[in-house]
Structure 1
Amino acid sequence: MQVDFDGFAGIRLIGDAIGQPSDPAILLLHDIAQTRRAWRNAADALVRTGRYVLNMDLRGHGDSEWPLDGQYNIDAFSNDLRALLAQMSRRPVIIAHGVTGWLVLRALAADAHKLAGGLVLVDPASSFSADIDGICDPRIAGALDLTSAIGILSRNASGFGIPVSIISGDKIERDVHRVHDGLATATVDGPADHNIALESHVPNLTSLIDGIQANLACVYRLGGSTRTLRDMMGCFATGVTVVTAMAPNGEPIGFTANSFTSVSLDPPLLLVCIVKDAQRAQSYTSAGHFAVNILQADQQLVSSHFAMKKDDKFTDVAWRRGEYGNPIICDSLGHFECETFNIVEAGDHYILIGRILNASFESWRDPLIYYRGKYRALDFK
């Protein structure tokens, strides 16, 4: 399945998602002057070992966007990677080929443990092929200068908070503690050999990934990775709701939420949580009234639709006004209409507590379930 992510400055990054999203995640990154096609056979082989693989084109390569401003310096590439990793639901093991390994090291230098579970550098190289016509933007050759960057990165590549391994030809270095020392002996002086089929590395890659992922225990301590904490929160299965309200200008607004719970029966209270920097967050906290729509099993598309960042979310959705003017999603399992009872600021969220004014549900419908980043269905066996 083709997927797209927002890179640095909104650049569109295109790739393939292969396998089951619930399986351990792998991010494949091709060398400069290559495309994701170079990893295609290896990606299929990794999926057969029980991995979920994202195989991406870098900016200016293949199907990803070729920026009009020609931004192809090392910071542009590394910021793309940080943006991509921030949008993934789990920390992947990253496998980078050739020069791209240096770009990944730059992207992860400050907080690797928050973004990735491990890193495997395949045939690290000091330069890239000059034969780039057709498959990537020819402006890359003049814009991406690695000469000085490699020296800086190699001196600062130790102390990573994630396992780093290197495959160079037939040699494998596992759990490299001083990354710059390992790179000094493993880096090819010149471009990586693109005639070597990357799928030939799969047996070694599988062995390295097994070791990395065996040590990726989901343990969180105060001050640790927020990604780990989010993954652990995702282990609690929930229903899915769409919270709706009328904005001050009379426009219907809504967002998908699973942070919803009952609070009290007397008085009848419920709560939902809103990220403070979410689109239109202030509109919900100032609306005075809101509705919580509980989605049923056939409304996965509705959930995904209201999770998107766009202004008019109601154009293609069947809805009606409730008794108190709130948008009610048609065919949902049930809904609550509320007046705002209290708003509590808690960390990076607002807790919106509502007094329930009316509610209804259709008992013959089954709920939409969300667990570990994936929609699920009830099993009555």
Structure 2
Amino acid sequence: MADGAALVRGKAPDGTGFIRAGTGAPVLLIHGVGMSAAIWEPQIMLMQNHFELIAIDMLGHGASPLPPENAGVSDFADQAILLLNQLGLDRVAVVGHSMGALVAQEIALRAPSRVSSIICLNAVFRRPPELAQAVRDRAAALGGRGDPSSIAATIARWFGNPIPADLADAAATARTALESVDAQGYARTYRLFASADTAHVDRLADLSVPALFMTGSEDRNSTPAMSAAMARLAPSGQCLVLSGEKHMMTIASPQKVTQQIIAFLDKVAAVSARAAIDPAFDVIEFRRALGSFLTGVTIVTTIGAEGEPRGFTANSFTSVSLEPPLVLVCIAKKALGHQAFSTSRGFAINILSEDQKAASGIFASKAADKFSSVAWQPGQTGNPVINGSVAVFDCDLEQLVDAGDHSILIGRVHDFTHNGAQPLGYCRGTYITPGLSQDALAAAPPETEVGAILENEGRVLFFEAADGSCQLPAGHGLGAANDARSLRGKLAAKAIDADLGFLYAVWDDATEASRTHVYYRGTVGSPRSGDGQVRFVEIERIAELTIADPAVRSMLTRYVRERTEDAFGVYVGNEVEGEVRPLAKPAPALHSGHG
């Protein structure tokens, strides 16, 4: 450390060792397996004039105590959060290298209010089978303190063999750390590291903070593909690959790495400052509000540079002009297919039908061969046209427009087709199939009890009986307005103008197998006065009503819960037992293009 630097080496009450230096916004630094807080010395020297740096010794490293024998990533995250508490730091940016990057993710997922952003350097994610086995083999073969053969193999893997002259100092620093680390602490941590590459596979979508995933182009163990995959899953993720760098780029090229760290932290701070000026604008709520717009679902296709078909799922499609015929679709700049689509001569937009929900999911995924799952043929311009689509617009690329984190592809329609099939819809993160309710309504037998939960401005319509109990509108079959026994007849008799929407519950009587009950969700106009039997009840007060039918009472309990969560399902079974099936499997965020 440079002379005169305001550096404090400390030990927390629980025995955790740490280094503290600098002034400014606090940044927590977490090293990788076999290192210690001191490995961050280059970053501390470069950042201490603008940031407060806290470099922690992970469990089993430096001055810190050993981790549990079968430790989890959460043990290391808990250690770091406890240190923040002891130092009186409410909110920090977290920078983690290798194993430290996994700990950084865990902290952000467990305590998002404590983290302003994370930077994951050379992080591992879903190792390929052969690489995963190699790491497990190394973990199993670990010897005692300062095992020379293991250290030599690690240094060669990190820096090359022979070590290039310009990396000799960095290799010596890493070797010294490996020779001095506690053997038991190293072994326990490395065993965890060997399996922790899947620790956050299903959780990165919940990583709410800004996240930078940075690695080197030559890192064979924490590959660029891994960082790209994590950045795609994290809602505010970015990927950055440093050309020519390997796994220990933090000490091999500290100037280059630290410049990128500072640039990202400054960018996050600038965005936060703008948000503070206009605190009413909430990005997460903005995304949810956009999701309220019911759209269709498309698969956008093109031909790549090598002649291969490429495609992604999107609902960011709209018409632009009739003369000339122009349409547009958006693709995320971080999408794997962005290069192919932004440099192509054209593309096709395939509007999907209700029967093509599976294809939508596949093209929104990272499947290796998406086109093997669909029947397709070249359109007039050569772009892939998917069979069975409701409509297809085959386009030349008219204009590419830069728009924030997306690119807008404006296409001049060269050819188009369409048919009368039911389109697939998308709203609030869920696929919508409008044909489901229409078909079910038409198919209901006349003796089926058909009822409805009809809502008006946060209230639900009930018919009140003489004894004070309440019933939902229901009748024998859907029927017509002139059929007094049917649902429509009973609504018409009370001058109720209702719109029946989506199927909500279907059940059979446990004792009367021939009796089927079908209930729908819907809306109703403003209440009419003069009919004492018609009652509108606020959703939150439905539980107070007396409802004789236990099956209807149970259904309404579910409705109140799902209405609050804005996530509806369809109940199928009998009045005693059954299951709630989601209207659709929650779908990816289709407004962002996936390559």
Rg bigger for which structure? 2
Higher helix share: 2
**TM-score tier (shorter):** 0.3 to 0.5
TM-score (norm 1): 0.46
Q: Relative contact order (C-alpha < 8 Å, sep 6+): which is higher?
A: 1
